[in-house]
Structure 1
Amino acid sequence: MAGKLKIKNREGGFLIGVIGDEDTVTGFLLPGVGQVDSKRNKNYFVVSSKTPITEIENAFRAMTTRDDLAVILITQHIAEEIRHLIKDYDKLIPTILEIPSKDHPYDKEKDTVMQKVLRMRGTQ
């Protein structure tokens, strides 16, 4: 079948990455999503109101180049800060998914992935 995506199996499976505020990241770490490897690479990044945008950009770039992440969850209000990087991101894996946070509701109009899906379906 032409255009069929093949995802290489990875021993030990794939991880989920998380970029968000402290409450959101903690909510994913408690059930065991977090991992720190021997090189001190983490699959999560906590953003506060004092975190420079360059640090968020660097964390996003680092996560999107990892071959052990299948999905990166990013809270939508933080995604807004690095929207230029998310719009330019064109890989399927890891997939970027925008999620709401406790203090910021989800707005599908701002979600670039949702906009792409709607365009592909011809509903936008």
Structure 2
Amino acid sequence: MDNERVGSVVVTEDSKPIGIVTDRTLGLAVGQEDDPASLTAEELMSGNPETVSADTEAYDLAVRFGETKVRRLPVVNNEGQLEGIVSLDDLIATNAEQLEEAAKVIEAQSPGYAPDER
């Protein structure tokens, strides 16, 4: 995870997600286990991860994150095979970019308007 600079790894079987190991899981294991380096991915993973399809829209992702109370969701294709992962951070960053662009339109169409500088 450190080498790839990621906060989670999806564990697959036949290309289908069967679990997920997160940086939080690893951190907790370090504090609770005598020899955390000896643990396997199977021992550390949360099984049966919630997933989303590749065509899930941003609003539905936000709802899904709220329902599942997780920060990362594996993305699967129609056959249930892993295609990637989406994080709550990804969603927030994308929304922030979109809001910034919307703010530019408002400022351009509203002469004299400027948001409060805080």
Q: What TM-score, normalized to structure 1?
A: 0.27
Structure with bigger gyration radius: 2
> Relative to total residues, which structure has the larger helix share, 1 or 2?
2
More strand by share: 2
Larger relative contact order (CA 8 Å, sep ≥ 6) = 1
TM-score, length of structure 2 as denominator length: 0.28
